[in-house]
């Protein structure tokens, strides 16, 4: 049910014709209230696409009434003309929604785009698609919306967390953060819980930091990455902020896991967990150093439990970021402690890497904090998919 | 001529039998003076191999009389026993050299190792090889020494800069920094110029920063990386420090270029030059962000002049590190300005990427500082070589 699992939302996904494949390519999600609370998290890339600039401004006052999303074109690196296209799209959607009896201002319509960089969007096609999507809005349109934001994704990603009287539901696209340049991550989450803008903003920042931001393969967000949260209050329930954050985190964790599982060209999903660090930040930084090592990722592709590459990557993290004694590090891969005290541990031939999921646990023996970062292996198919086609 | 191009040095390279292939695997280089000045630059990885710990201490007083280098085993992650092996090697070499009439203390013998991580060295084989190498020391042994430090290198790397009455010569090994975990970079440079320890240390740090440290593919040094400079003063000439640094930089730049050209599995050598940055550091950081992007590297493998991936990578550098206006960036690839003001520039079909060398110039329009960082493309062969074989 995706973004229409929560009460107070309508959505749709249609074939506008932006994609040459004839697949669905325009989604609209509308918050019918009574509340119109919204929050967003956006790419930290300084090269940001026009829709990111626009949508960041839209949610800056804690409100958004609707979002339109298109695949088939990122509207990034398109200059002032690209920004004008985004602005025009929001105005068009606001006007079309108003004609259906929903009074919406353009400044409350977020816009998300994904696809090729450096190309203008085909505006006539997009706006005609927006009209069709608005005509098709329904209380069970969440799945169609999730389908229409796909690019190289092999399947739609949706998740729902039901609570006693209120619900959080979401959709995401992205064929793995492995390829952020072509696989922009877009995510829309809706809830019928009654929360205020400050709660929405804080909960979203915290939940994203522990879920989507811990899917990390090459360390940089794309030009278009966007996570939007919209809250209607339609359930009449007002959960405790911590309860809400837990449900939101559950939905985003599920969507994150689905992104990893659908990463382009990957043959393994790898969870790197760093334990007994001095702080959660230290644990996360060490885990990230490992998940960004091409040598480690290539070894996992080769079903090679290469603990030397794990600790070599850990050793690149400066001591001021993650204090630990390098001579104490232990590494377990899929349950076998192949490295003990930075030296040879149990027999590496005991490690079975034939399954898709791989668990690497690094014990720093420095404190009691833990963090997990997900990545994928570096494969021939990754190279092929990112070299054979422009994007 | 490599390390024996300068007067006052003898060297050799022999087959000890550490490598199963029967190739040369032990080198010795000895400074016969009159001066025994030395300086070193070592890996910043906190997981450092035993020989790095040892050699860092050896050169800390600005003196080294000899260095023994072995391929076939890195002596990394081998614990206190591994350190004892290194110590024993230095003592053995010092004793054997003293028997040839060269009075050398073990504390003045540097040790370098390269090869697999996590395995103890075969000490009997290594020490017998050391004896053979010391017996074979000669004034024209530089090429044999350069050959014996190779691992997956396809050819030895040597360079010489001759000046009026004095010389700098060097050797290096490393099949590209692309694969630092298996392709440790080792480099020994000798000179007969009369320089003091402070000049040697300062010149080496400065020259390495602009040459070897600007060959960057996955951003981390290995556990064993070592650059040693030894100065005999045998020419009787005392160049100006800036003249010496220029000659040293020339030798290290040549060796760096040879490392890039021999990178495992690479099909392109890529020079990323950032111009008009506010500082050289800012230029270097932006260039590094681009050379570390798997998406960019895979695109070059596919002969795709993908400027979107270039500026997306540039955009990940924080503004406090590299101030620039992201909307002003220009990108040229092999002379064609494919991106102008962060948007579409000249026809990308004009870019010819069929040659091995690729030049990417990124203009930040923010100042007048420049830096170049070299990398290689990300290829099927890279994945194959780093997944199919353990290391």
For residues A352 and A356, what is the distance between their CA atoms, to the nearest angstrom?
11
pLDDT, mean of residues A288-311: 91
Give the pLDDT of residue A158: 98
Q: Using CA of residue B230, residue B234, residue B238, residue B240, what is the dihedral sign?
A: negative
Mean pLDDT of chain B: 93
Give the pLDDT of residue B178: 45
Q: What percent of chain A has pLDDT over 90?
A: 82
pLDDT, mean of residues B229-255: 97
pLDDT, mean of residues A378-386: 84
pLDDT, mean of residues B163-171: 97
Q: What is the pLDDT of residues A208-229, one digit of tens each?
A: 999 998 887 555 568 889 999 9
pLDDT, mean of residues B139-143: 98
| Residue B26 vs residue A47, higher pLDDT | B26
Q: What is the pLDDT of residues B61-101, one digit of tens each?
A: 999 999 999 999 999 999 999 999 999 999 999 999 999 99
Closest by alpha carbon to B283, among B274, B295, B294? Answer: B274
Q: Give, rounded to a whole angstrom, the gap between the first and last alpha carbons of chain B.
A: 31
Closest by alpha carbon to A60, among A35, A42, A80, A39? Answer: A39
CA distance A134 to chain B (A): 32
Output the CA–CA distances (angstroms, integers) from residue A153 to A71, A130, A179, A225, A251, in the order listed: 11, 22, 11, 15, 19
Residues 186-225 on A with a CB inside 8 Å of B are 217-223
Residues 366-385 on B with a CB inside 8 Å of A are 378-380, 382-384
Which residue in the set A319, A327, A383 is minimally distant from B298, CB to CB? A383
Parse chain A into domains and list their residue ranges: 2-261, 269-387
Q: Which residues in B lie closer than 8 A to residue A265 (C-beta atoms)? A: none
pLDDT(B17) > 80: yes
Closest by alpha carbon to A167, among A54, A99, A243, A60? Answer: A243
Closest by alpha carbon to B40, among B200, B176, B191? Answer: B200
pLDDT(A177) > 70: no
Helix axes A307-314, A294-301, angle to 10 degrees: 160
Mention every residue, 6+ apart, whose C-beta is less than 8 A from residue B89: B68, B109, B111, B123, B126, B127, B130
Which residue in the set B293, B312, B386 is minimally distant from A223, CB to CB? B312
Inter-chain residue contact A181 with B312, CB threshold 8 Å: yes
pLDDT(A178) > 90: no
With cut-offs at 50, 70 and 90, classify the pLDDT of residue A359.
very high
Give the pLDDT of residue B221: 65
Closest by alpha carbon to A372, among A291, A304, A308? Answer: A291
For residues B181 and B72, what is the distance between their CA atoms, to the nearest angstrom?
14
Give the pLDDT of residue A342: 93
Q: What's the ipTM? A: 0.86
Which of A70-74, A193-197, A220-224, B149-153 has the highest mean predicted lDDT (pLDDT)? A193-197
Which residue in the set A298, A327, A386 is minimally distant from B387, CB to CB? A298
pLDDT(A313) > 50: yes
- Phi first, then psi: give them for residue A53, nearest 5 degrees: -60, -45
Tell me if A191 sits within 8 A of A204, measured CB to CB: no
Inter-chain residue contact A317 with B78, CB threshold 8 Å: no
B172-175 contacts, C-beta under 8 A, 24 or more apart: B172/B146, B172/B255, B172/B258, B172/B259, B173/B71, B173/B114, B173/B146, B173/B149, B174/B259, B174/B262, B175/B151, B175/B259, B175/B262, B175/B263, B175/B264
- What CATH class is the domain A2-261? alpha beta
With cut-offs at 50, 70 and 90, classify the pLDDT of residue A179.
very low
For residues B91 and B104, what is the distance between their CA atoms, to the nearest angstrom?
9
CATH code assigned to A269-387 = 3.10.20.340
Give the pLDDT of residue A336: 98
Q: What is the DSSP letter of B138?
A: B
Pairing of strands A226-231, A186-191: parallel
Query: What ranges make up the beta strands (E) of B36-155?
Result: 37-42, 66-71, 109-114
Give the pLDDT of residue A263: 83
Residues 295-354 on A with a CB inside 8 Å of B are 295, 298-299, 301-302, 304, 306-309, 311-317, 319, 326-327, 329, 339, 341-344
pLDDT(A294) > 50: yes
Which residue in the set A44, A295, A382 is minimally distant from B218, CB to CB? A295
Q: Using CA of residue A317, residue A323, residue A327, residue A333, what is the dihedral sign?
A: negative
For residues B168 and B2, what is the distance between their CA atoms, to the nearest angstrom?
9
Which of A219-233, B163-177, B199-213, B372-386 has the highest mean predicted lDDT (pLDDT)? B199-213
Closest by alpha carbon to A154, among A8, A23, A51? Answer: A23
Q: Which residue in the list A158, A184, A190, A211 is annotated as catalytic?
A: A184
Inter-chain residue contact A79 with B379, CB threshold 8 Å: no
Residues 135-164 on A with a CB inside 8 Å of B are none
Catalytic residue numbers of B read: 184
Q: What is the DSSP letter of B344?
A: E
For residues B141 and B185, what is the distance between their CA atoms, to the nearest angstrom?
21
| Residue B36 vs residue B1, higher pLDDT | B36
Residue B387, token pair as written in the block: 């997944």
Mention every residue, 6+ apart, whose C-beta is less than 8 A from residue B182: A295, B116, B151, B152, B175, B386, B391
Residue A244, token pair as written in the block: 């809400």
Using DSSP, state whether B215 is helix, strand or coil. Answer: strand
| Residue B295 vs residue A96, higher pLDDT | A96
Q: What percent of chain B has pLDDT over 90?
A: 82
Give the pLDDT of residue B387: 79
Closest by alpha carbon to B39, among B176, B187, B178? Answer: B187
Strand B9-14's sheet: what is its strand order? B9-14, B26-31, B66-71, B109-114
Helix axes B307-314, B294-301, angle to 10 degrees: 160
With cut-offs at 50, 70 and 90, classify the pLDDT of residue B307.
very high
With cut-offs at 50, 70 and 90, classify the pLDDT of residue B357.
very high
For residues A308 and B362, what is the distance between their CA atoms, to the nearest angstrom?
36
Closest by alpha carbon to B149, among B12, B5, B10, B248? Answer: B12
Same fold, B2-261 and B269-387: no
pLDDT, mean of residues B285-309: 92
Mean pLDDT of chain A: 93
């Amino acid at each position: 049910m995706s973004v229409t699992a929560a009460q107070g939302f309508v959505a749709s996904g249609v074939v506008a014709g932006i994609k040459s494949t004839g697949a669905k390519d325009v989604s609209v999600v509308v918050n019918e209230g009574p509340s119109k609370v919204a929050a967003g998290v956006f790419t930290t890339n300084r090269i940001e696409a026009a829709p990111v600039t626009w949508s960041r401004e839209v949610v800056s006052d804690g409100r958004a009434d609707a979002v339109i999303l298109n695949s088939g074109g990122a509207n990034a690196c398109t200059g002032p003309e690209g920004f004008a296209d985004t602005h025009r799209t929001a105005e068009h959607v606001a006007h079309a929604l108003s004609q259906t009896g929903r009074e919406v201002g353009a400044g409350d319509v977020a816009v998300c785009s994904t696809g090729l960089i450096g190309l203008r969007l085909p505006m006539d096609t997009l706006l005609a698609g927006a009209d069709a999507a608005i005509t098709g809005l329904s209380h069970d349109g969440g799945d169609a919306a999730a389908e229409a934001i796909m690019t190289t994704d092999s399947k739609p990603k949706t998740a729902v967390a039901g609570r006693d009287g209120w619900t959080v539901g979401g959709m995401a696209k992205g064929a793995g953060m492995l390829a952020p340049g072509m696989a922009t991550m877009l995510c829309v989450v809706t809830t019928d819980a009654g929360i205020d803008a400050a709660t929405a903003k804080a909960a979203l920042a915290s939940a994203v930091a522990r879920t989507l931001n811990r899917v990390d393969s090459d360390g940089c967000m794309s030009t278009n990455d966007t996570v939007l949260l919209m809250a209607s209050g339609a359930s009449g329930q007002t959960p405790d902020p911590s309860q809400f954050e837990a449900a939101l985190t559950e939905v985003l964790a599920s969507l994150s896991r689905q992104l990893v599982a659908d990463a382009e060209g990957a043959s393994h999903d790898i969870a790197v967990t760093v334990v007994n660090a001095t702080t959660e930040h230290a644990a996360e930084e060490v885990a990230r150093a490992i998940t960004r090592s091409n040598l480690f990722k290539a070894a996992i592709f080769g079903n090679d439990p290469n603990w030397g590459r794990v600790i070599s990557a850990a050793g690149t993290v400066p001591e001021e970021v993650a204090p630990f004694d390098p001579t104490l590090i232990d590494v377990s891969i899929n349950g076998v402690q192949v490295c003990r005290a930075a030296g040879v541990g149990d027999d590496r031939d005991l490690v079975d890497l034939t399954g898709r999921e791989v668990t690497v646990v690094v014990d720093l023996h420095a404190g009691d904090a833990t963090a997990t970062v997900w990545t994928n292996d570096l494969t021939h198919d990754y190279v092929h998919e990112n070299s054979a086609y422009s994007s």
